Chain A
C-alpha cells in the first residue's frame, strides 16, 4: 500500500499538452477516481503512474520514492485495462499467474530480499484470487470462452494476485452492460474495502465516480479542476465546468446581474434569485454573475420569485424533468411524480438561498 503524488507533473506530445501541471496527492488506501470527458488527460495521468508514458515535467512519487525513471515492472503496481488485455492464448489460470512468474516479491517478512515465488506459492495465490473473484470453474478455459463479465473478473484477479501497492483501473466497466456494470460497481467497492489498497480509477462516467470514489479528481483539458469527496464536488463545484459536468441533468447555470435592492439578489431577466447566505465576496450593483442551481432545488411554488415557461416535460417514472425557459435561458427542473404543468404554460419556481451557487463569468470560478 502506498500513496501516489503528482508534483507539478506535465505530459507533452510535441506541441500537444495532454496533462498540464498536475498537482494531486492520492492518499494511501483511498479509491481516487479521475473523472473527466474524453481527451481530458485522465488516462494519460494513469498511464504515467503505470510507467507506460514518460513524464515530461515534474515528479511522480509512489510512497516516498520518485518513480519518474523507474521501470513499470518495478513500480509494484498493477493495471486493469479497458479492453482487459488478457492473454488470449493462455488459460485463465495462466493469465492470473502471469504477474507472479517474473516479478520479485518480499514474501519472507519485512526487510527480507525480494525473490520469485515458488510454484506452490504461485498456485496458492492463483487459487485464492480465483476464489475471491468467483473464477474457480473457469481456470482451465481460455478468455475467448468467457463472458464479458468473467473476462473482467479475470483481469481483476490478475491485478490483485500480486498484491501490489497501487491498483490502476482504466474504465474497467465500460465494456459491460448496464446491469452488470451496476453490480460490478458494488463488487469493486466491496473488494476495495477488503484489500484496503490504493486504487486509482479512471472513468468518464460520473455515476461510477459518485458511487465508488473516496475522492474524485475532476479533470478537463489536461488540467485538474477540483478534488474532493463526491458530496463536495456535487454540492460545492469549484467552477462552471465541474458544475455542468457533475449531475444528471447538470446544474442549471444562468447568466444574470447583481442587484442590491431588497436585501440583494441576482436578476435573471425579471426573475430574482437569492444570494447564498455567508457569501464572503463583496458584490457591486450591476455585476455580471452566473447563478448555479441544481434541478432538484427549483421546486414549483405559487409564491416563487422565478417566472418560467414550460418547454418540455420528460417523465421518467419516479420523477419528471421539466425543461423551462427563464428569461430566454434554458433550465431544468426536477419534480417528483408526474408534472401537471402543460407545455407552454407559465409557472413560478422558488429557490432556497442555501442551494444557490454563484460563479464569476470571467474566471468561471465559484464565489466563496
Chain B
C-alpha cells in the first residue's frame, strides 16, 4: 500500500517498527515441553485425513516421481530404467519450455484480470440496495457454469468465421498483442477468455464474503477522517481483506497452471501448438511416453510450488491477518 508515512529509521515516533510486532507474535507461541501423550493424541486426530492424503495424494505422487525414471521403449510397449537422465532431458527440452511459456501466458492473462474485475464487481455489489441479491447472484453465476459450457459459449461468440462477433484475432493489432509476448497472441487470448469469465464469479464470491467481514464502523471512521471512496478502498478495505486476496491470487494461479478443458475446447492447443500449455504437453505425452509425461508433471508441480512459495514469501508480509 501507499507508504505516505514512511520516514527514515531514526525518526522514532512514526516508524512502523516491525520488531515490536514480531515480538508479540513470538510470545503467542510459548515454549512447551513435548508431551508424548499429547503427540499421540494429535496423531490419532490426524490419522483419518492423513490416510486420505497418503492414499490419494502422496503415494500416487511418489509413483509419478518414480515413473519419471523409466523410459518408454517402442511407443510405450515396455519401459526401461534410466534414472535421472530422463529428468535432465525433458526438463531442459524445448517441449517443456514452450509449454511452460504458454502456461505462464495463460496465468498472466487470466489471474490479474479475474482478480481485479472480481474485486471491482464485489465492491460494486457490496451495498444495501433493494434487489442487490439479484445482482449478487448474477455476478456469482459464472462460478456455477461448467468449464465446458463457458468455453463453448465463448467459442460461439468469438469464432472468426461463424461467431457472433467474428473476431479475426490473427490479423488484428489487438490488446492481445500487447498482453502477450507470443507471435500468435490471438489464440491464447481466446483460450483465456472463458477462464477470465469464470474467475470473475469465484473472485466475486470470495471477495464479497471478505467485504462483509469488514466492520462498518471502521469504514465510517475512515469517512469521518476524510477518506474518499477510492482512498477508503485502497487504504482500508483492501488491506483488511488482504488474506482473502492472497488466497484468491494463489488459488487462481494454481488453477491457471492446471487449466486444460477450456483450452482444449476453444483452440485444441492450436494453431500450430501456440496454445499448448504444460498440461497439454503432459496429456499428449501420456499417449506415447508415460515416463516423460511423469517428468513433466513433476516439473509443473515444482514450478507451481515455486510460484506459490514466492507469492507467499513476497506478499505475506503485506497481508494483515486481524487480531
Contact = CB atoms under 8 A, between A and B. Distances in A.
A102 B226 contact: yes
A76 B11 CA distance: 30
A27 B298 CA distance: 75
Contacts of B38: none
A85 B11 CA distance: 27
B13 A89 contact: no
Contacts of B239: 89
A126 B320 contact: no
B10 interface: no
Nearest to A136: B13
Contact of A79 (B15, B17, B224, B227): B224
A52 interface: yes
Interface stretch (B101-109, B138-146, B212-220): B212-220
B5 A102 contact: no
B224 A123 contact: no
Most chain A beta-carbon contacts within 10 A, residue among B14, B215, B322: B14
Interface string A141-182: 111110000000000001000000000000000000000000
B4 interface: yes
B46 interface: no
Contacts, number: 99
Given A81-B217, A102-B231, A140 B17 contact: yes
Contacts of B217: 81-83, 85
Contacts of B220: 50, 52, 79, 81, 85
28 contacts: A52-B224, A79-B224, A81-B217, A81-B221, A85-B217, A86-B221, A87-B221, A88-B240, A88-B320, A89-B320, A90-B16, A94-B5, A94-B14, A98-B225, A101-B4, A102-B225, A103-B225, A103-B226, A123-B13, A123-B14, A139-B13, A140-B17, A141-B24, A142-B21, A144-B24, A144-B322, A145-B21, A158-B221
B11 to A, nearest CB: 8
A144 B13 contact: no
A2 to B, nearest CB: 16
A93 interface: yes
Given A79-B224, A88-B322, A97 B14 contact: yes
Interface in B15-58: 15-17, 20-21, 24
A99 interface: yes
Interface residues of A, number: 39
B236 interface: yes
A8 B20 CA distance: 51
Interface string B197-224: 0000000000000000001011011111
Interface centre among A72, A89, A97, A141 (most CB of B within 10 A): A89
B171 interface: no
Nearest to A47: B220
Contacts of A72: 223-224
A140 B20 contact: yes
A330 interface: no
A90 B6 CA distance: 12
A86 B224 CA distance: 12
A78 interface: yes
Given A85-B215, A88-B320, A103-B226, 6 more contacts: A79-B224, A87-B236, A88-B322, A94-B5, A102-B228, A144-B323
A22 to B, nearest CB: 21
A310 to B, nearest CB: 48
Nearest to B23: A145
Contact of A99 (B17, B225, B240, B242): B225
Interface in A301-328: none
Contacts of A93: 5, 13-16
A127 interface: yes
Nearest to A93: B14
Given A52-B223, A141-B21, A91 B16 contact: yes
Contact of B24 (A85, A98, A126, A145): A145
Nearest to A162: B225
B226 A99 contact: yes
A77 interface: yes
A73 B224 contact: yes
A123 B322 CA distance: 26
Nearest to A141: B20
B226 A126 contact: no
Interface string A93-117: 1100111011100000000000000
A127 B14 CA distance: 9
Nearest to A102: B226
Contacts of A103: 225-226
Contacts of B231: 102
Contacts of B21: 141-142, 145
Shortest 9 CB-CB distances between A and B: which pairs?
A: A102-B226, A140-B17, A89-B320, A73-B226, A85-B217, A85-B221, A103-B226, A144-B323, A89-B239
Contacts of B225: 73, 98-99, 101-103, 158
Contacts of B222: 87, 98
Given A102-B227, A123-B13, A140-B15, A79 B322 contact: no
A88 B5 contact: no
Contacts of B227: 73, 102
A94 B221 contact: no
Contact of A140 (B4, B16, B322): B16
A108 to B, nearest CB: 19
Contacts of A52: 220, 223-224
B9 to A, nearest CB: 12
Interface in B224-262: 224-228, 231, 236, 239-240, 242
A22 B11 CA distance: 49
B211 to A, nearest CB: 15
Nearest to A137: B20
Interface in A259-311: none
